[in-house]
Structure 1
Amino acid sequence: MTWTTRPRSKFGDLAAIDVGEGPLVVLLHGVGLRAEAWGGQIEPLVSAGYRVVCPDMLGHGESAFAAPSGLNSYAAPIAALLNEPAVLIGHSMGALIATHTAASGNRNVKGVAALNAIFKRSDAAQQSVLSRARALDAQRLNDASVTLHRWFAEDTSAERDACAQWLQEVDPRAYKAAYSVFAESDGPTEEQLAEITCSALFVTGADEPNSTPNMSRQMASLAPKGRAEIIPDAAHMMPMTHAAEVNAVLLPFVQECLT
């Protein structure tokens, strides 16, 4: 698959890919990426009869940077575009935003899917991610090699090349700000998960060392209508590297929520 840049529409302060017609599905990407990271999901969802909106996170892609003040700075613009029934699908930081929005009681959220979401990191994992956040430079381009190795190991692919380009293009201020919010969060709380009254799907890769299968299963057990799916042989960038397998789980879920 190629990961070519697509045209954008404006939703308040956010730029977003907006394609298709039908019930709304909103796709939220992770730190350092951009809306095109959902290239493996956009066309299958559009072909299935959905309107797909993929916003660029603040300071990512074509969305302007504004200094955030915590997770709500990222969640509020998403809530603002939910003016009709929708399913939220988020990956990594996007999953954190999606579950936060679903737990807020927004009646237009008819389903939420959290891909590669974190929940109650171990002390060692928490210290590691906080150390990475503190080491980031807000004034100049950060070295993407460690991130790429964490996501792809030594594998070469079009997906790795696309992520490398996006990591080089993202505003360093935005990358540090978003990564810091992600690092300082421990995922949705037990109380927040209990407040997600819509259908909730938690998906991760069997080979994911950070957003582990056990985390997804725990979150699913705490959400009233939660379920977990584990994608074999997949890791953190599974929406790109295992698009067909991810879509086989997402498409029936979206149909269930929006029928």
Structure 2
Amino acid sequence: MAEPSFPGRARAPVALRGGALRGEIGYLRTGSGSPVVLIHGVGMNAEIWAPQIAALAAHHDVIAMDMPGHGGSLLPPADATLDDYADAVIGLLDALGLPQAALVGHSMGALVATHTALSHPARVSRLVAMNAVYCRPEAVKIAVRERAAELEEKGFSASIAPTMERWFGDPVPAHLVDVAAIASRALRTVDAEGYRRTYWLFATSDEAFADTLHTLAMPALFYTAEFDPNSSPAMSRQMAERAPQGRAEVLADARHMMALTHPDAVNASLIAFLNEADAGVQKLEPIKP
């Protein structure tokens, strides 16, 4: 697999938590058309979306952001909440003069995207929550919180090998060695404190939407992998059942990092969902940065 090339990285000023914390959000932007914001998972950065950026840019204005604490973005607060991460998404839209965008989030990014859609429905045209967590079963809840506790006890570097094993297997199959290297590089270069703060929030936020998902105002695709035990098909189906315009899709024979390992199938689903006609949607004027 050839090393991917990326459009130029840029940064936009944003404020978190009502302006109390100010800094920059890093992002990649390319393409033209209706805007789509891609939000990665814990430990990754905007570049992990390379296959999706390439596919979506033909018909969309694609913005792949670095979550707070990752890539070129500011650290989240020590006591960060999902509101802080949603503030980063809305702050980026404001800085780019975009009144509305579709959001595509993966894993922790799916939590951020869903929270943003629930908190700022006028700013989100469509939602894709990929490999999302929702009301984890007790055994899964215990396991993810134990991993969060190990981060505090053993430090970030000790988590890299078991994370890669969960995502890709051990040994990594030969046909996945190149894409696994992309994820490994992201994990090895992420800010350790940004990772720690974000992972703890990820570990404790799976019930964040249990009482509000029925208010989701836009079409939503809850999309996961057949062999993702921590972001299971059952979770995506539950979310789809609760969202008024929700639907679930499960990618066969895939695991958590399916956007990297199965890009053609993932891209086809994203393009089909994002390109559906939205009858009666009001055209919004651009925001002045």
TM-score after normalising by structure 1:
0.94
Alignment of 1:1-259 (within 5 A): 1=1, 2-4=3-5, 6-12=7-13, 13-47=24-58, 49-68=59-78, 69-82=80-93, 83-137=98-152, 141-143=156-158, 144-154=160-170, 155-156=172-173, 157-256=177-276
1:76-124 alpha-carbon deviations (Å, 9 max, x no partner):
1102233322110000000000000111143121100000001110111
One-letter code of the match for 2:251?
Answer: I
**Taking every aligned residue pair, what percent have the same amino acid on both sides?**
39
Which letter maps to 1:251? I
The residue identity in structure 2 corresponding to 1:134 is A
RMSD across aligned C-alpha pairs, in angstroms? Answer: 1.8
- Whose Rg is larger? 2
Change (3 A) 1:188 1:225: farther
Q: Name the count of aligned residue pairs.
A: 258
Using the size of structure 2 for normalisation, the TM-score is: 0.84
The change in CA–CA distance for 1:205 and 1:136 in structure 2 (over 3 A counts) is: same
Q: How far apart are the structure 2 equivalents of 1:235 and 1:193?
A: 25
**1:108/1:257 Cα in 2 relative to 1: closer, same or farther (>3 Å)?**
farther
Which residue type is aligned with residue 116 of structure 1? N
| Secondary structure of 2:227's aligned partner | coil
* Gaps in structure 2 of 5+ consecutive residues: 14-23, 280-289
Residue 257 of structure 1, CA deviation = 5.7
CA 183–58 in structure 1, closer or farther in 2 if over 3 Å, else same: same
Letter of the aligned partner of 2:12 in structure 1? F
Shift in CA distance, 14/139, structure 1 to aligned 2, threshold 3 Å: farther
Looking at structure 1, the residues matched to 243 and 72 of structure 2 have their Cα atoms a distance apart, in angstroms, of 34
Measure, in 2, the Cα distance between the counterparts of 1:192 and 1:87: 20
Classify the secondary structure of the residue corresponding to 2:275: helix
Q: Distance in 1 between matches of 2:229 and 2:64?
A: 26
CA contact (8 A) 2:156 2:196 kept: no
Q: Which amino acid aligns with 2:186?
A: W
Moved over 6 A (4+): none
**Within 1, Cα distance between the matches of 2:91 and 2:197?**
21
